[in-house]
Amino acid sequence: MRIIVIFVPFVFLTSCASVFFGSDESGSNFESYDYLTKTIDARYSLFDIKDVDWELAKDEYRALINDSLSDQDFLKVMGHLIGNLEDGHTNIYGVFDYTRYWDWYLNYPSNYDPELIERHYLNKNYWRTGPFSHTIIDSIAYIYYGSFSTPISGKHLNFLLDRIAPMKGVVFDIRNNGGGKLSNVKRLLSAFADTTRVSHDFYFKNGPGKDDFSEPIKYKIKPHKKAFNKKPVVVLTNRKSYSAATFFPSGMQVFPHVTLMGDHSGGGGGVPYHFELPNGWIFRLSATRTIDSKGQNIEPGITPEIEAFLDEKAARKGVDTVIEKAIVFIKKQNEEQK
């Protein structure tokens, strides 16, 4: 059996989507299958919220295994097995393909049209500051951030905060943001923090028993010196807001001036660890449990306080009904504060 190839403390786990390819060494299909299932048994952190009979699934799919299976068919069988976990952070990476679970967004309407945003909201006059695309609509800042994998520098954040400081509010759009680095989440949360708050508790699966977890690690957010924390902020999410893009809105909900709007986020609250199978393939699994300020596990995603959906007829006329609802909400908040 192979030892764990990547197992590091959370402070060094910056990416929700890192892929590490192992060697092409030989190993029987049974050996690799059993190593996979035993590792998941011991290290997977989310069985308590998954509706799966894991023991039954293991037996059913092991019966399909033999050493004459091609690599492609073997990967397919193991992909069907771990698909029972319905976890986008649990995957197996062969040299030729990798298993994936994408139903967390494929089974739902997108509620986002990038061309509509570009043509009718950002248009030609928007500013691009590092990873942020932003413009001003009726004295309200509209900001789009497409991936938490894209770095946020101190200069980017300072410039953005200076620009939005006089605005009546902010619409912060992370629809279709598939996640990335949690360091970017923390930096961005600080930009809207009103005071130091604990946004999440992290628990590490640290033993083979179902209740073997570490003591909670408190994720503390301190306000940036230029934080936008006095006026309304609306964060827009959809089903494709995954991983770090679920961590972010779940953290933003601790701030009283922030409102979540849109569709339920995709989830992905377990930080993945990587292991190597005896046949040289790499697999990863969710190895942490993340609890938000409301005491909820964020793995299934975050429900917005205000639902808003893209109206296709309006979209054909150049109107994003989600953004428009956010703008109306901020204007109403401003009126009520007068």
pLDDT in tens, 262-299: 999 999 999 999 999 999 999 999 999 999 999 999 99
Q: Is 225 helix (H, G, I), strand (E, B) or coil?
A: coil
What lies within 8 Å, CB to CB, of 312 at 6+ separation is: none
Q: Domain 10-106, CATH 3.30.750 — does that match? A: yes
- Please identify which residue in the block is written with the tokens 């009546």: 168
Distances (CA, A) of 288 to 92, 150, 318: 18, 23, 42
C-beta atoms surrounding 144 within 10 Å = 25
| Amino acid code (one letter) for 111 | N
Residues facing 297 on adjacent strands: 291
Q: At what angle do helices 71-83 and 29-43 cross, to 10 degrees?
A: 20
Task: Tell me the H-state helices in 180-281.
Answer: 182-190, 244-252
Phi-psi region of 25 (alpha: psi -120 to 50; beta: other; left: phi over 0): beta
How would you class 19 by CB atoms within 10 Å of its CB: exposed for 0-12, middle for 13-18, buried for 19 or more? exposed
Q: Domain 114-271+291-337, CATH 3.30.1330.10 — does that match? A: no
Tell me the pTM. Answer: 0.91
Quick check: 9 pLDDT over 50?
A: no
Task: Report percent pLDDT > 90 for the chain.
Answer: 90
Two structure tokens written together for 248: 């972010």
Domain ranges of the chain: 10-106, 114-271+291-337
Rounded Cα distance, 241 and 146, in Å: 10
- Please identify which residue in the block is written with the tokens 């938000």: 292
Residue 120's nearest CA partner among 273, 299, 318 is 318
Quick check: 12 pLDDT over 70?
A: no
Q: What is the pLDDT of residues 77-96, one digit of tens each?
A: 999 999 999 999 999 999 99
Instruction: Decide: 172 and 228 in contact? Cβ < 8 Å.
Output: no
Residues facing 286 on adjacent strands: 272
- Strands 233-237, 169-173: pairing is parallel
